[in-house]
Each structure stands twice: as structure tokens, then as C-alpha cells.
Chains A and B, each alone.
Chain A
Amino acid sequence: MFLHMLRAQFAFMLRNRGALIASLLFPAFFAFMFGLGTRVQERPSKVGVVQEGQSETNDQFVRAMRDHDFEVFILPDAEDLQRDFTAIRLNAVVIVPELRNGGTVRVFFDERFPENLVQTLARVRSLTEGFNLDLAGGAELVKFSVRGLRGDSLPPFQYFLPSIVMFSVIFPALSFGGMRAIQSREKGVFKRLMVTPLKPGTFLAGEMVARSTLVVVQTAIVLLVGLTYNSPIRPESLWLLLPALMGALIFVSLGFFVSSFGRSPETVGGVLSISGFVLIFLSGGLPQTVFPARVAEVVKYLPISPMVNAIRGVILEGTSPFQAAPVETAVLSAWFFVSLALAVLFFRFKAPAKR
């Protein structure tokens, strides 16, 4: 029964050519656009500074940073930059050596937030060039090096890869899961299935497996487009399928769950679209640094943020999401199992009763 149901779900997915092409073009489009977007530079806001020297040149350098609109936080030492990133929610930490005779300023950015790389590079380059021009007539008095706090430096495309994957799989999952369920119910497809021994769970399982296959293809497309932006595909890249699959299936499950309560496609579509957009906006549309601390704390536990951060962890660490981002993977797993349980418990072929 399940295999036949699965075959039917695949037939629906593959023969619905418009939706299939849209689902496959979606990741290609996002990957391409985000790839172009890696050249966009924005300005950082909060930077921690560790002064290793006491010279006038050091003070001048910090003043120059403030003049360049850096919000400077003087840190006592560089012993626990990871803590400082989290506690003060810094974009970068700048370690300024004794600059009396020149030196190399080391810039660390928080790799968990990829926008920090391009922001920091652009700002620090501008700062040091101006500083050298003012103090040394253009001679290279101060140099700078940039590196991420975690892992090696990565091609810019890979910093956006989690968001690309997220956008690619979430939107189709939203529309196919809940919307398809409510449309099938309205058309009478489910009514006909109700009088057969087919269990709603079997239908749901078929949908899940078919959807998972599409997610794999979508992710592969993103990775292939990434090759054109010098983003390599490594064997460990396959691990990013896990959070991508869980993220997509969370939204398929939530869609089926919501469809169990809404009576019209308009209601269900509205709820799914609004909730999806809000989650994407909170979790991927904007850097988490722009939110107040309390909101940012909540966002960490919504499904998209852990999904994006788990994928990012896999890319940065080159290991499984369980090792690279254990907390995020745990949160994502919790969402996955809870949403799946809700879908299994509440999804029925029968229309919800009128209230």
C-alpha cells in the first residue's frame, strides 16, 4: 500500500511540471542571486577592540575606528572571543598590537554570521588605508589580517549557502504540504480516500518521502550552482542534507497540521504564508544582530534559525551537524519530531468540524 501511495505521490510531483520546474528553478535562482550578492558590502556596527599597545598611535587608531562609525567596545583581553561575540553580540573583534612602529591588526569575525566577513573586510580596509594615509603618507604603517573565529576562511558563496538552501526548500514545502492537503480535501479527493482502508499516516508518509527526494535534488542544484562561484562540493557537504531535510519536513508536517484545522485553502494558505514569511524574516531574512536581545533569543529556537545554523556548522566544521552544531541540531530535531507528531495526530482525511 505504502509503495503504491509513494508512487502516486511521485507521479503527482513529477507530472505536475509547472510546480516541479518552479521547485527546481527556485534553488538555482536563489543560488545565482545570492552568489552575485556575495559582492555586496555592508557596514558593521559593533566591534570589540583589544589594545595590546599603549602608544599614541594605538589611541589614534581607535579614534579612527570611531570616526569610521564603528561602535567600539574596549575588551580587556582576547582570551574568550567566542564569549564576547555572544555576550556583547559583536560583529568582529579587532586586536590592535603596539603600533608605535607599525604592525598588523588582527580582525576576527564571528563565522556564525556570514555577513560579518564582507562587512568587516570592507570597513577595515577603508579604515587602515585612511589611517596609513594620514599618519604615514600612504606607507603601509598598519596592515591587517582577517580570519574567522571558527575554521578556515571560506569562499563567500558558502557563507550564504545555508540561506540559499533554506529559501529553496522551505517555500515549496510550505505550498506543497498544507496547501495540497486542503485542496485535496476541498476537491473531494480525501473524501474518496476516507472510505478506503488507506490510513492518513500512509498518505502523509508518501508525501514526506517524495518531498525528501525533491529536497535532495534541490540541495544538489544549489551545490552545483555553487561550483560556478568557487564553492567546492566535498563529501562532508552531504551532511547538510540532514538539516535541510528536517527543515523541509518540519514545514510539510506543519502544513498538514494546519490543514487539519482550516476549512478553506484561503485560510490555510494565509496562515502558512504569514507564518512562513515571519519565520524566514526572523531567522534568515535579517542578521540576528539587528534584533533586540530578547527577540534574538526566541529566534534561536524557531525552526529556521537552527536549520540555517546547523547547515552553516556543517560547512564550517566539515563534520556532521551533531558535532558541528549540536544545540541547533537538537532544536531542529525537536521541531521535526514535534511537528511530525502533530501532523500524524491531527491530520485526517475528514474536514474539520464547523465551529
Chain B
Amino acid sequence: MPDGSTAVSVQNLVKVFRTPSGGELRAVNGISFDVQAGEIFGLLGPNGAGKTTTMEIVEGIQKPTAGSASILGIDVTHDFDRIKPRIGVQLQESEYLEYLSLRELLVLFASFYGKRADPEETLESFGLEEKAKEAISKLSGGQKRRFSLALSLVNDPDVVFLDEPTSGLDPQARRGLWDQVLKIREKGKTVVMTTHHMDEAKVLCDRVGIIDHGAIKALGTPLQLIRSLDSAYHIRFITGDVFPELRFAGITGAVGLTKTETKDGLLYDLEIHDPAESLGEFHAVLTELLLRTDDIRVEPSTLEDVFLSLTGRELRD
């Protein structure tokens, strides 16, 4: 659990790339955030939002154009060698020295550090003990991601960086990896991760920074971000009937009504503050209008809704 101290601090980070045409691309545009020790902090945003560039600056892989980043109080841009033994990194995509088995890779990487986790225990805790003698090229996608996560823990780090840890995995493999990430936090380590999956951010992250076009649009716990919306809940239903839509807009606590065409009819989305104050009236209107409806659902807003409200765009996978 977070203990209140700051594990990672990013201040006014800017990264500008030169484009082949001679122009400039501002991939990171003044990002600032702090990560508390012991928490899982997520950068949530679509592809190209600047998540990986931000992570790679903090991990010391790239130099910032401006701004600063520190891990455990150590400036990564000037003193990165000092922090390397205390961090674990899982890159979005990485390959390893060829022709080595999983065990050999773990032993090799462990040899880089003074403080090291037991390779055998690491393999076992990630369910890879049977693959210990296999080359990484023989693993499935899920096993590869598990192994890269295991490798990031080989030095028993204080802070772990995970860049899109479940990218490209099927739902079952993703959930398996979520359990592993949660176990990392249980051990008191700080996790900084990127994702473009809102469900992943909601399940794993204590706090989330929503990032788009290189800037943090909102920062807080998933619940705080959702509650910051005018409409914290949605009543969704499908109907083929024609009815006076303004009757729903007048319901107490209603924020707005939108409709989307589906193959089953029109899907109506009534945004409301609080189900307790609006549901009774909603039911009364349905009865009054004699509407034939299918699939009525009351759902809380999601981080997708937060992203939509902040950027006007959907957060697509």
C-alpha cells in the first residue's frame, strides 16, 4: 500500500522529435505527475498519446527535451546509473540475447545486479518452471509477456515500469498477468504502467493519468475521475418505438440523452447523476409511454467515458 513518500516524480516533461520533413513532433508536452511509493500508477491513453515516450524518458532510455524526472529522489537524466539497480523494466517490445534458455537469461540478467531474486523462484512464481530450458522463441505470447515481467523483477527492484504489459494477449492471459502485477504491489513495490485498456487501468491502478496528445488531461483514482463527470451513470435501453424523447430529458437528475443505431433498434443512453433519484421517474415514463424496450441496463460511467468527455474522442484499442 502507498506509504505517502514519492517514488517517481515527473515535472514539466517535454520531448520533441524532428520529423523527416524537417518539422517537429511534440510527443510529450509538459507532463507532470508524482507516483507514491507502493502504488500502481497508470498512464492511460490511446496509441501515439505519448505514454511510451514518457516511460522511456523516466526509464532513462530517452533524454527529455525539457523538464525532469526522478526515481526515489535520483535525477534520471543526470544520474541514471545510480538508479538502474533499483528499477525493473518491462519494455513494450523487447528481444533478448539469442540462443539462451529462460533460466540462462534470468541468471545472466541477475548477474548484472548486486541484489538479486532467485531465478528458480522467479520462474516458479510466474508458472514458467517447466519452460526453464526452453528458448524464448518457443513460448506463447502470454508466456513471453510473463517472462518479460519475471525478468523485470530479477533484481528485486523497488520500482517496476511496465509498458503495455498485456498488449496483444487474449482475455485469459491478460487476467493472469493482472494477478502477477497485483502481486508485485503486494510485495510493497511501486508500479508505473502504461495501458490503453480502460478495464485494465480500472482493475490494476490506484491512480491513473489520462494522457492524450502528449499531455495529462486528468489525474486521480479511477473512481475520482469517473465521479468528476456530470453523468456518473447511464441508463441504456433499446427500442424500435417512436416516442417523444424530451420526456426522458425532463427526468430529475438527467444530464443528456443520446441515441445510436444498432441492428436491434435504437440504443438510447440516458446520462444521469444518481440512479436513486432518477430510476423511479424513468420507470414511470416508460410505463406512461407504453414503450416496448429490450435490454435495459443501469451502468456506472467508465474511464472510457472520462476520456470521451475530456478529449471528445473514444479511447480505442
* A191 B112 Cβ-Cβ under 8 A: no
* B107 A4 Cβ-Cβ under 8 A: yes
Give the distance in Å from the alpha carbon of A187 to the alpha carbon of B91 in the complex: 12
Closest CB-CB distance, A18 to chain B, in whole Å? 12
Closest CB-CB distance, A210 to chain B, in whole Å? 12
CB interface residues, A 1-42, toward B, < 8 Å: 1, 3-5, 7-8, 11-12, 14-16
* A191 B94 Cβ-Cβ under 8 A: yes
Contact code string B33-75 (vs A, CB < 8 Å = 1, else 0): 0000000000000000000000000011100000000000000
Q: Let me know if B98 is at the binding interface, CB within 8 A.
A: yes
Closest CB-CB distance, B139 to chain A, in whole Å? 16
CB interface residues, B 95-130, toward A, < 8 Å: 95-100, 104, 107-109, 111-113
Q: Let me know if A195 is at the binding interface, CB within 8 A.
A: yes
- The 3 tightest CB contacts between A and B, nearest first, are A15-B99, A4-B111, A187-B95
Contact code string A193-236 (vs B, CB < 8 Å = 1, else 0): 01111100000000000000000000000000000000000000
Closest CB-CB distance, A5 to chain B, in whole Å? 7
Chain A: which residue is nearest B61 at the CB level?
A194
Give the distance in Å from the alpha carbon of A354 to the alpha carbon of B25 in the complex: 14
Q: Let me know if B81 is at the binding interface, CB within 8 A.
A: yes
Q: Let me know if A189 is at the binding interface, CB within 8 A.
A: yes
Q: A5-B108, A192-B96, A197-B84 are known contacts; what are 7 more A-B pairs with Cβ within 8 Å?
A: A188-B94, A194-B60, A195-B60, A195-B91, A197-B85, A350-B61, A354-B18
* Number of interface residues, chain A, beta carbon within 8 A: 24
* A196 B96 Cβ-Cβ under 8 A: no
Chain B: which residue is nearest A16 at the CB level?
B99
CB interface residues, A 149-208, toward B, < 8 Å: 184, 187-189, 191-192, 194-198
If the complex has contacts A12-B99, A15-B99, A195-B60, are A4 and B91 also in contact, measured as CB distance less than 8 A?
no
9 contacts between A and B (CB under 8 A): A4-B108, A8-B97, A11-B97, A11-B100, A188-B93, A189-B97, A194-B60, A196-B112, A197-B112
Closest CB-CB distance, B180 to chain A, in whole Å? 19
Closest CB-CB distance, A9 to chain B, in whole Å? 8
Q: Let me know if B10 is at the binding interface, CB within 8 A.
A: no
* B113 A12 Cβ-Cβ under 8 A: no
Q: Let me know if B89 is at the binding interface, CB within 8 A.
A: yes
Give the distance in Å from the alpha carbon of A194 to the alpha carbon of B91 in the complex: 11
* A7 B91 Cβ-Cβ under 8 A: no
Give the distance in Å from the alpha carbon of A16 to the alpha carbon of B81 in the complex: 32
Q: Let me know if B87 is at the binding interface, CB within 8 A.
A: yes
If the complex has contacts A5-B108, A7-B108, are A195 and B84 also in contact, measured as CB distance less than 8 A?
yes
* B60 A12 Cβ-Cβ under 8 A: no
* B18 A191 Cβ-Cβ under 8 A: no
Give the distance in Å from the alpha carbon of A188 to the alpha carbon of B163 in the complex: 14
Chain B residues closer than 8 Å to A12, beta-carbon distance:
97-100
Chain A: which residue is nearest B97 at the CB level?
A8
Chain A residues closer than 8 Å to B112, beta-carbon distance:
1, 196-198
* B91 A197 Cβ-Cβ under 8 A: no
Chain A residues closer than 8 Å to B98, beta-carbon distance:
12, 15-16
Contact code string A311-355 (vs B, CB < 8 Å = 1, else 0): 000000000000000000000000000000000000000100010
* A188 B91 Cβ-Cβ under 8 A: yes
If the complex has contacts A1-B111, A4-B107, A197-B112, are A188 and B95 also in contact, measured as CB distance less than 8 A?
yes
Closest CB-CB distance, A51 to chain B, in whole Å? 67
Chain B residues closer than 8 Å to A5, beta-carbon distance:
108, 111
Give the distance in Å from the alpha carbon of A7 to the alpha carbon of B109 in the complex: 12
Chain B: which residue is nearest A15 at the CB level?
B99
Give the distance in Å from the alpha carbon of A8 to the alpha carbon of B93 in the complex: 21
Chain A residues closer than 8 Å to B87, beta-carbon distance:
195
Closest CB-CB distance, B150 to chain A, in whole Å? 13
Closest CB-CB distance, B312 to chain A, in whole Å? 33
Closest CB-CB distance, A213 to chain B, in whole Å? 16
Give the distance in Å from the alpha carbon of A188 to the alpha carbon of B107 in the complex: 20
Chain B residues closer than 8 Å to A189, beta-carbon distance:
94-97
Chain B residues closer than 8 Å to A184, beta-carbon distance:
97
Chain A residues closer than 8 Å to B84, beta-carbon distance:
195-197
Q: Which of A4, A191, A198 contacts B61 (CB 8 A)?
A: A191
Give the distance in Å from the alpha carbon of A195 to the alpha carbon of B107 in the complex: 16
* A195 B108 Cβ-Cβ under 8 A: no
Give the distance in Å from the alpha carbon of A261 to the alpha carbon of B38 in the complex: 41
* B94 A8 Cβ-Cβ under 8 A: no
Chain B residues closer than 8 Å to A197, beta-carbon distance:
81, 84-85, 112-113
Give the distance in Å from the alpha carbon of A184 to the alpha carbon of B104 in the complex: 18
